Amino acid sequence: MSDSIEVGGRTLATDEEGYLEQHSDWAPDVALAMAAIDDCELTDSHWAVINFLREYYEEYEIAPAVRILTKAIGKKLGKEYGNAKYLYDLYPQGPAKQACKYAGLPKPTGCV
């Protein structure tokens, strides 16, 4: 994988797996470009996840725990959507990783 992504005429630095090096480089078209690479079409539900991740990151400088994310999505989209299974349907590579990538967050590290 290349270590940058082209978005709307901008060349943005990424790590080996495509996560943005600079959180401040993010704009909605970055998420679209990353999703396009994975053949993933971003629906409103995908955006609900991305937006929540970004809000949480702004406040806490880290991605939320999976359980916090599922709870927040349940509140936003309805209780039946507030579970890990639904998030994995949206983001098959894992909500903590794939969605963080699209949201311009660094990849979660550790035993996760």
Catalytic residue list: 111
Single out the residue of 4, 38, 45, 76 in contact with another protein (rule: CB under 8 A).
38
Q: How many residues bind another protein (CB under 8 A)?
A: 25
- If binding is defined by CB under 8 A, does position 8 make contact with another protein? no
Written in H, E and C, the secondary structure of 44-93 is HHHHHHHHHHHHHHHHHCCCCCHHHHHHHHHHHHCHHHCCHHHHHHHCCC
The stretch among 28-36, 42-50, 73-81, 86-94 that binds another protein (CB under 8 A) is 86-94
DSSP state of 20: B
40-44 CB contacts, 8 Å cutoff, 24+ apart = 42/102, 43/90
- CB-facing half-sphere around the CA of 13: CA atoms within 13 A: 4
- If binding is defined by CB under 8 A, does position 13 make contact with another protein? no
- If binding is defined by CB under 8 A, does position 41 make contact with another protein? no
- If binding is defined by CB under 8 A, does position 17 make contact with another protein? yes
- CB-facing half-sphere around the CA of 87: CA atoms within 13 A: 26
Closer of 12 and 96 to another protein (Cβ): 96
- Tell me which residues touch another protein (CB under 8 A): 16-17, 38, 60-62, 64-68, 71, 84, 88, 92-94, 96-98, 108-112
